[in-house]
């Protein structure tokens, strides 16, 4: 096993090295890097949150990386301005990422003679690229990818194994598509004719702008006549459904298992948390956030935070939930009030009849 | 760029051509077809809803297709009985869909010598068909499809890239399977033996009747001993989970991300909206509709519309929601009533004691 | 069609054969095995629940398998201690499962010269295994599987078509991965720099312990610096999302479409029902159960059953729901109480003024 001494590690991340309570030699050999819950003796670990400091007691790590503001710890400590950046550098020193130097089209790939693949692009074995496709410079098409006819793929894209691009899909530059995601499948729109569902037109396509990342097994349907479009810089997690004709804005975050029905649109910097559902034909305004599992049935203006099914502003929902969780108690109160009022009414009647007698 | 003049377009869709407010020549050249939000100058667009007419103000389109009942618009207008059908025809004139003339088995496909593939069927490169499979006339098996042993596939089916059919899967005619869907995976049924989960029998299969369409990345598990069955004409959207032993009726619509637990059944013309969940062993009656995100824990009779978790008839749920969204206010009212009653009780007691004194 | 007589079937499952009400000859030929709803004349069926006995009236089956405690039925009956085990044996007699005798690497597979594949392992056509991978004894890598560089796969694993393992994935022994599932995709973690989302480090991997089964199209993201880990014997259904850095315990059951956000952990024997969502950084204690569609926003201790969004103990939620479904009625009651109290107050005031007069 390769080891690297602490002083070398500290230098590589431009950090300051402290010896720890037991004055451990700063040339101690470190054999690996691992997060707190996995670190073994000989490893260096990361503490990115001061509340995790007590966990060092039960952790076998031999050294740690921390931000500058933390107190001294019992083990040697490399103090840096950006601990995540530093720890990533250290991890890579122990587990170097091998970059394939190979370029070009693998002889076991199926690339149409009518496709144009840039000379610096990679098409791996068992991938296929259809007629009239173009693939930009340095783009990597991994094994088992299927690019159907007439797709346009920009430069510096990463298309992971098992991805399927239906005909006419457009990817701009630096798009990352994770394994088994599907772009351009048919929209779920039908009309009834003689008691049978007949599919709407499927004449559109999917257009993904630059710097978009799309998660594993996510599905984006093609537009009816035009584009289903994902705006620049937007990041989409795994197992997300985006239906036909949707237009997502720029720099959105769409978390796992979100479902967006047909013809929805979003502004820029919108966040949809996990398992959220949007009904069709609504708009989510710039910078608005929809919290997890919410079901949104109406458009949401800019700069809002919504929650619940049907979704309402978060503060409103918090009051509803607070009341809801006291509902059984309130029900008892109401029953008691009923009895009290009945009694009060009876007493009053009694009093009145007494009064009448008295009067 | 090819252009087509408006008169030609109108003739091709048997529409009536109106010149628009500015008497634009009806022989004006049109260069493309696009939906309202995407249309550029030179394009023809579609207006399928009268409320979208004002959007023509900000749209650069040079012409539009509308139904017969609409008022005149500022740009040339092709008026037709069925605007979607007409616009689809026009889109195809500008972006013709190329149909591959090729049939037969690509030499880079892996087809078992023990499989029977109809002569008019297509098996593309990098697809595989296992032992004892049959593939019907004109069926197209796209790239990267895996058909495992003993599958029976009818005529005129479309099986998109990345689809996996487990052994023994049966598809009738005109079945469409979108990319990366999986049919026949193992049911999620276990019994505990010595503290370990042991899988139930996986001896069944999946049977898909004619004219069924199944969305991308949808998964349908095999039956325990017999078939998990999808009825004729039923359409299933993307990322849907259908568990072992389910029996879906005819002409259902199952929207994206629905989850149906084991041994459920549905009647005909059932609609399950997005992200709905059904618990195991329940039945949804003919023509019933379950609204989005609902969780259904009991069988539903025919002709119902259900909503919520646990799902109840929509009208009932609407009343519950209306009350729920007024709950914080109601809680205040109840607290106020408590105080008032306390006071009334105290006053009454006081009155009574006064009376007693007076009496 | 092959037939097998009843006496032979009874002997094969060591069951006791009863002749049925009409004294049907025990040597009657049986032509197939099917569940109750599918069984045709000539078939043997299974009754595993006494409440299903009346369904025999409308079922055409010629014989059935039942547990020992049931009453006699009109058709011949094979009585056994474990009816599911017996029926599985009988199904396999009629539909034998053909096991491929083939081992080794198919010439149409793409296996790196730098990979080590055990001699008894199978790598099918169109599968690929990357550099520095190891594949254990008797493991089967089906068609269309992509194993990226540096993966370690144990013995007796089944990896179904379309599965994608990202670099560095570790599978212990007897792991079953169903079609199109993805292990090791990038975690959904971003920080904002100059208004753009920049991905967190993706330096970890996925580690799957022995005897784990993972459903079709399920996705498990790699850890940031270390492992996302699935504990021994845990079973995961289809279309499940497990985010980066999660640690699942042993013998969990995770049902379809569950979503688990980043850095969650579970104890042993945890059950998450269908469509449940867990927020990030929470822990579910040993043997706790979360019911379907619940959204869990805080850690749950051991031996609990939780339900709802946000999830609370099931009994508490049951009381809330009971109150909720009576909420519209309660709202009426409260309005009525308001009126009554107003009246009581008015009457009392009136009485008081009367009294004052009287006094």
Mean of the pLDDT values across residues B10-38? Answer: 83
B277 touching C (Cβ < 8 Å): yes
Mean pLDDT for chain B overall: 92
Going by their DSSP bridges, the two strands C190-193 and C196-199 should be labelled as antiparallel
3 state SS of A213: strand
Q: Does residue A52 contact residue A64 with C-beta atoms inside 8 Å?
A: no
* Two tokens, residue B111: 């087809």
C17-45: average pLDDT? 83
Q: Concatenated DSSP letters for B305-355?
A: EEETTTTEEHHHHHHHHHHHTTHHHHHHHHHHHHHHHHHHHHHHHHHHHHH
Does pLDDT of B352 surpass 70? Answer: no
Could you give the CA distance from residue A278 to residue B275 in angstroms, rounded to a whole number? 10
Confidence of residue A26 (pLDDT cuts 50, 70, 90): low
DSSP E strands in B101-145: the ranges are: 104-105, 110-111, 116-117, 122-123, 128-129, 134-135, 140-141
pTM for the structure as a whole: 0.93
Q: Could A188 and B327 be called an inter-chain contact, meaning their C-beta atoms sit closer than 8 Å?
A: no
Q: How many Å apart are CA C72 and CA C79, to the nearest integer?
A: 10
CA distances from A120 to A105, A106, A116, A136, A176 (A): 10, 13, 12, 8, 17
**Which class for C118: exposed (0-12), middle (13-18), buried (19 or more C-beta within 10 A)?**
middle
CB-CB under 8 Å, B255 with A277: no
Interface of C with B in 33-92 (CB under 8 A): 33-35, 37-38, 46, 84, 87-88, 91-92
pLDDT band per the 50, 70, 90 thresholds, residue B207: very high
C200/A contact by beta carbon, under 8 A: yes
Q: What is the pLDDT of residues A188-245, one digit of tens each?
A: 999 999 999 999 999 999 999 999 999 999 999 999 999 999 999 999 999 999 999 9
Residue A310: cis peptide before it, omega within 30 degrees of 0: yes
DSSP B300: B
What whole-number distance in Å separates Cα of residue A80 and Cα of residue C56? 75
Set of chain A residues whose Cβ sits within 8 Å of the Cβ of C143: none
CA–CA gap between residue B209 and residue A111 (Å, rounded): 35
Q: Are A226 and B334 a contacting pair at CB < 8 A?
A: no
User: A296 by DSSP, 3-state: which?
Assistant: strand
Question: pLDDT category, C70, cuts 50, 70, 90?
Answer: confident
For the ranges A254-268, B109-123, B171-185, C332-346, the lowest mean pLDDT is seen at C332-346
Average pLDDT of the residues in B164-174: 98
Mean pLDDT calculated for residue range B111-130: 96
Chain B window 323-342: which residues touch A at a Cβ cutoff of 8 Å? 324-325, 327-328, 330-331, 334, 337-338, 341
Instruction: Tell me how far CA of residue A28 lies from CA of A34, A36, A42, in angstroms.
Output: 17, 19, 9
pLDDT at C238: 98
Residue A352 has what pLDDT? 67
- Give contacts of C330 with chain B, Cβ < 8 Å: 323
* Span of A150-154, A257-261, B315-319, C345-349 with lowest mean pLDDT: C345-349
pLDDT band at C9 (very low <50, low <70, confident <90, very high): very high
Output Rg (C-alpha) for chain C, integer angstroms: 30
Residue C352 three-state SS? helix
Map tokens 């079922």 to a residue. C59
The answer to whether C186 is a known catalytic residue is no
Question: What is each CA distance from C198 to A47, A97, A194, A233, in whole angstroms?
Answer: 21, 19, 52, 9
Residue of B nearest to A145 (CA): B144
Q: Give mean pLDDT, residues A27-39.
A: 88
Confidence of residue C242 (pLDDT cuts 50, 70, 90): very high
Contact check, Cβ <8 Å, A126/B125: no
Task: Please give the residue of chain C at the shortest CA–CA distance from A351.
Answer: C351
**Statement: residue A101 has pLDDT above 80:** no
Report DSSP letters for B47-113, one per residue. Answer: --SGGGGGGGGG---SEEEE-TTSPP-SS-EEE-S-HHHHHHHHHHHHSPPPPP---EE-TTSEE-T
Q: How many CB atoms lie within 10 A of CB B121?
A: 23
By the 8 A CB rule, do C86 and C65 touch? yes
8 Å CB contact between C215 and C242:
no
In angstroms, the CA B224 to CA C357 distance is 86
pLDDT > 90 in chain C, percent: 75
Distance CA A294, CA A278 (A): 8
Mutate to test the interface with B, among A112, A130, A131, A146 (most CBs of B within 10 A): A146
Which pLDDT value is given to residue C339?
A: 86
Yes or no: say if B215 and B175 are a contact pair by the CB < 8 Å rule. Answer: no
The pLDDT, as a whole number, for residue B21 is 67
How many angstroms separate the first and last alpha carbons of chain B? Answer: 106
Chain C residues close to A95, C-beta within 8 Å: 203
Q: Residue B198's beta-bridge partner residues?
A: B191
Q: What is the pLDDT of residue A57?
A: 85
**pLDDT at C99 exceeding the cut of 90:** no
Which stretch of A237-246, C38-47, C149-158, C159-168 has the lowest confidence by average pLDDT? C38-47
Could B274 and A261 be called an inter-chain contact, meaning their C-beta atoms sit closer than 8 Å?
Answer: yes
Question: Cβ contacts (< 8 Å) between A34 and chain C: which residues?
Answer: 225-226
Residues 6+ apart with CB under 8 A from A265: A246, A247, A248, A249, A283, A284
Looking at chain A, which residue has its C-alpha nearest residue C349? Answer: A348
Predicted confidence at residue B124, as pLDDT, reads 96
Cα B302 to Cα C206: distance, rounded to the nearest angstrom: 47
The pLDDT tens digits of the residues spanning A134-152 come to 999 999 999 999 999 999 9
Phi, psi at residue B197, to the nearest 5°? Answer: -80, 125
Tell me the mean pLDDT in the region A239-258. 98
Q: A166-175: per-residue pLDDT in tens?
A: 999 999 999 9
């Amino acid at each position: 096993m390769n080891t690297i001494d602490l002083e070398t590690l500290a230098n590589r991340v431009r950090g300051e090295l402290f010896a720890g309570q037991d004055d451990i030699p700063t040339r101690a050999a470190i054999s690996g890097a691992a997060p707190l819950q996995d670190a073994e003796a000989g490893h260096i670990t990361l503490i990115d949150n001061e509340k995790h400091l007590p966990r060092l007691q039960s952790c076998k790590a031999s050294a740690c990386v921390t931000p500058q503001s933390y107190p001294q710890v019992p083990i040697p400590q490399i103090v840096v301005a950006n601990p995540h950046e530093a720890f990533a550098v250290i991890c890579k020193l122990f587990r170097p990422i091998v970059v394939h130097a190979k370029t070009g089209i693998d002889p076991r790939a199926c690339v149409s003679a009518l496709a144009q693949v840039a000379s610096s692009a990679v098409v791996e074995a068992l991938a296929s690229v259809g007629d009239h496709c173009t693939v930009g410079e340095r783009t990597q098409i991994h094994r088992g990818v299927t690019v159907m006819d007439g797709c346009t793929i920009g430069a510096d894209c990463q298309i992971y194994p098992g991805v399927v691009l239906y005909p006419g899909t457009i990817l701009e530059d630096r798009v990352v598509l994770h394994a088994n995601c599907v772009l351009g499948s048919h929209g779920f729109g039908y009309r009834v004719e003689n008691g049978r569902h007949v599919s709407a037109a499927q004449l559109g396509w999917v257009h993904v702008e630059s710097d978009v990342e799309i998660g594993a097994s996510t599905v984006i349907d093609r537009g009816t006549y035009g584009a289903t479009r994902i705006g620049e810089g937007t990041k989409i997690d795994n197992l997300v459904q985006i239906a036909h004709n949707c237009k997502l804005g720029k720099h959105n975050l769409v978390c796992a298992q979100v479902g967006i029905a047909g013809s929805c649109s979003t502004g820029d910097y919108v966040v949809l948390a996990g398992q959220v559902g949007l009904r069709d034909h609504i708009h989510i305004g710039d910078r608005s956030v929809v919290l997890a599992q919410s079901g949104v049935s109406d458009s949401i203006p800019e700069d809002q935070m919504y929650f619940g099914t049907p979704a309402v502003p978060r503060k409103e929902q918090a009051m509803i939930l607070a009341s809801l969780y006291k509902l059984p108690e309130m029900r008892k109160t109401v029953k008691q009030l009923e009895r009290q009022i009945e009694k009060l009414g009876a007493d009053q009647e009694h009093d009145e009849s007494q009064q009448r007698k008295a009067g």
